[in-house]
Amino acid sequence: MDEVVPGAETEHGHVGTSEQSENPPDAPPASQDPSVVLDAAVGAAALAAAAAQLVGRRVGQAVSPVRRRVGGVLSPVAVVILRPPMLAERYQAATWLEGLARRGGQGRAELARQLSVALDRMVPAVADEVLARIDMAGLAEGVIAEVDLAEMIRQSTGSVASDTVRGVRMQGISGDEAVGRVVARLRLRRPRAEPEMTPQQP
Amino acid sequence: MRTDVPVWVVPREGLQYQGRRAGLVTRSIAGVIDGVVVVVAVLAGYVGVNGLRFLVRPRTFQFSEASPLPSVAIFLLVLVGYFFVAWSITGRTYGCHLMGLRVVGRRGGRPGPLVALLRALFCVVFPLGLLWCAGGRQHSVQDVVLRTSVIYDWRPGSPR
C-alpha cells in the first residue's frame, strides 16, 4: 500500500492535510462545500449524542440507589401535584395533561391519515414516471440473454422437436452462407468487364 | 412503461442472424415443406369429398377419378390461396415458420393483401425466380419486382 505523504498531490487532487500546509494558520478559511459543513454538523451531533449517553449512563449508575429511595418519597408528592384534592377534577393538572395527550393523539392520527392520502396520490405517479424512464423490455431482454432463457425453457420442457427445428434452421443458415460464398467466388473468377473494355456497337 | 417492444426468446446462436435476408437453401426447404403441406391438404380434401359422397350415396359410391390436369390446377390454386392467406395474415407460411423465415414488405412490416396475392401468384407461376436469391443481395425475382424480402425471424407472432 502506498504511503500517503501529507501535503502531497495526486492525480485526484490533494491528499491528507495539503490545504492546511498551503494555507497559513491566520488566513481566513477557504469557502467550504455545503456538504462538508453538513457532514461536520452531523458528526458534531453524533458526538454530542454519544457524550450525553455516556454521561447519562454514568449519572444513572451513580444515583440509582438514591433514586430508589427518593422515588418512594416523590411518588405521593407527584400524585398530590397532579391531583390536588382541594381542586375540582376539571382544574387538576392531570386532567389538562390527559386533554393535551388526547388532542395530540388525534393530531397524530390525522397527520398519519393525511400522509397516507398524500402517499396514495404520489406513489403511483412517481412509480409510473420511474417505470417510464426504465427500459423494462431491454432490461428483460438483457436478463434473458444473460441466463439463456430459451435454453432453460427448452431443457425444462424437454422438447426434442424444438431441438430438431433449431438444428434444421441453423443448418439452413449454414447452407445459405455456403451458397453465398460459392457465388461470391464465382463472381470473383469472372469479373465484370469494365465499361471502357466493352466493344462499341456499330 | 414500454410494453410494445417484444422480448425475444431466440437461442443465442441464432441471434446474430435475426433480420438478415435468407438465402436459397433455407427458402427452398421452406418451399418444399409448403408444397408437401398443400399436397397433404389437397389429398385430405379429395378424401373428404369422397367421404361425403359415400355418406350421401353409399350403394353407388366409387372414388372420383382424379385426372392429372384438374388435379394440378387445384393444387396450384390451393397453393396460391395458402400463400396469400399466410403471407397477408402472419407473413409466414408453415414452411417459413419451421425454417424461421418471414416475408416482409418494403418497410419491414407485413406485406399488404395485394402484394401478398401478387407474390403468391408470381411464386406459383414462376417458382424458378427463387434461384435469383442465390445472388449477393439474396432477393428472388418476386422480391425484386414486388420489393419484398424474406428474412430470418425466429420470433413468434406477427410483425408490427
Interface with A, mutate which of B13, B26, B101, B160 (most A CBs under 10 A): B26
Interface with A, mutate which of B7, B102, B138 (most A CBs under 10 A): B7
Strand partners of residue A10: A13
Average pLDDT over residues B87-106: 92
Domain count, chain A: 2
In the block, cell 422437436 appears at A161
Task: Name the pLDDT band for A155 (thresholds 50, 70, 90).
Answer: low
- A22-26, B96-100, B139-143, range with the lowest pLDDT: A22-26
Indicate whether A77 belongs to any domain: no
Query: What does the pLDDT read at residue A52?
Result: 85
Considering the domain architecture, whether residues A146 and A183 belong to the same structural domain is answered as: yes
Indicate whether B51 belongs to any domain: yes
Average pLDDT over residues A121-135: 90
Indicate whether B13 belongs to any domain: no
Strand stretches in chain A, DSSP E: 9-10, 13-14
- A72-76, A105-109, B19-23, B109-113, range with the lowest pLDDT: A72-76
Of B112, B33, B116, which is closest to residue B80 (Cα–Cα)? B116
CA dist B10 and A169 (Å) reads 12
Indicate whether B16 belongs to any domain: no
Average pLDDT over residues B103-109: 89
Highest mean pLDDT among A31-35, A121-125, B65-69: A121-125
Name the residue among B12, B17, B136 with its Cβ closest to that of A148. Answer: B12
CA dist A179 and A127 (Å) reads 53
Average pLDDT over residues A174-180: 91
Range of the domain at A102: 94-134
Q: What is the mean pLDDT of chain A?
A: 74
Residue B105 predicted with pLDDT over 50:
yes
Considering the domain architecture, whether residues A126 and A153 belong to the same structural domain is answered as: no
Q: Which three cell numbers stand for residue A198?
A: 466493352
Average pLDDT over residues B69-90: 94
Q: What is the pLDDT of residues A62-82, one digit of tens each?
A: 777 777 777 676 777 788 888
Residue B74 predicted with pLDDT over 90:
yes
Query: What does the pLDDT read at residue A48?
Result: 87
8 Å CB contact of B10 and A150: yes
B-chain residues within 8 Å CB-CB of A144? 7-9
Residue B86 predicted with pLDDT over 80:
yes
Domain count, chain B: 1
Query: What does the pLDDT read at residue A153?
Result: 66
Question: Which residues 6+ apart lie within 8 Å of B141 measured at CB?
Answer: B122, B126, B129, B130, B132
- A21-25, A115-119, B35-39, B146-150, range with the lowest pLDDT: A21-25
Interface with A, mutate which of B2, B18, B94 (most A CBs under 10 A): B2
Query: What does the pLDDT read at residue B11?
Result: 79
Considering the domain architecture, whether residues A129 and A146 belong to the same structural domain is answered as: no
Indicate whether A47 belongs to any domain: no
Indicate whether A165 belongs to any domain: yes
A-chain residues within 8 Å CB-CB of B136? 180, 183-184, 187
Considering the domain architecture, whether residues A183 and A145 belong to the same structural domain is answered as: yes
Residue B3 predicted with pLDDT over 70:
no
Q: Is B91 exposed, middle or buried (0-12, 13-18, 19+ CB in 10 A)?
A: buried
Residue A96 predicted with pLDDT over 70:
yes
B-chain residues within 8 Å CB-CB of A150? 9-12
Q: What is the reported pTM?
A: 0.52
Indicate whether A89 belongs to any domain: no
Percent of chain A with pLDDT over 90: 15
Indicate whether A83 belongs to any domain: no
Query: What does the pLDDT read at residue A9?
Result: 41
B-chain residues within 8 Å CB-CB of A132? 1-2
Q: Is some CB atom of chain A closer than 8 A to the CB atom of B33?
A: no
Query: What does the pLDDT read at residue A110?
Result: 92
Q: What is the mean pLDDT of chain B?
A: 88
- Chain centroid offset of residue A75 CA: 49
Range of the domain at B97: 21-152
Query: What does the pLDDT read at residue A149?
Result: 67
Indicate whether B112 belongs to any domain: yes
Residue A192 predicted with pLDDT over 60:
no
- A16-30, A138-152, B71-85, range with the lowest pLDDT: A16-30
Indicate whether B79 belongs to any domain: yes
Indicate whether B107 belongs to any domain: yes
State the complex-level ipTM.
0.83
Indicate whether A114 belongs to any domain: yes
Chain A stretch 115-144, residues whose beta carbon is closer than 8 A to a beta carbon of chain B: 128, 131-132, 134-138, 140-141, 144
CA dist B95 and B100 (Å) reads 8
Residue B151: closest C-alpha in chain A: A173
Indicate whether B134 belongs to any domain: yes
Average pLDDT over residues B65-89: 93
CA dist B32 and B34 (Å) reads 5
Indicate whether A144 belongs to any domain: yes
Indicate whether A155 belongs to any domain: yes
Considering the domain architecture, whether residues A145 and A121 belong to the same structural domain is answered as: no
